[in-house]
Amino acid sequence: MHTRDDEARRRDRGSMAVVTVLVGLALTSAVLTALVPWVHDLGARQSAQTAADAAALAGVTSGRAGSVRLAAANDATLVAWRTVGDDVVVTVEVDGHRASARATDGP
């Protein structure tokens, strides 16, 4: 003989799995949303360093104009450029992130 409680339990079977999946999706969405700015920030810092490296190397052979061109080609702005002996030292900016690099033509 089946009672009302048995019927209610049978009808509700699996509903906790649905709730668990929904909570899991909500938590996953929240974590991913929180990570988006961090990932963008990391990418901008890496882009700035890549642009600085390229601009410094270009500055060794083509001077300041070469550094400006290579920085712009990497979506960066040349902020500072100077020579120290045989070295060229540059600073570039990408999305508010600055990076510096040094390159040399000497030994």
**Cα dihedral angle (45, 50, 52, 54), rounded to 10 degrees?**
-170
Reduced to 3 states, what is the DSSP secondary structure of residue 89?
Answer: strand
Residues recorded for the chain: 107
CA distance 99 to 60: 17
Split at pLDDT 50, 70, 90, the class of 5 is low
* pLDDT tens per residue, range 36-91: 887 778 788 899 999 999 999 999 999 999 999 999 999 999 999 999 988 999 99
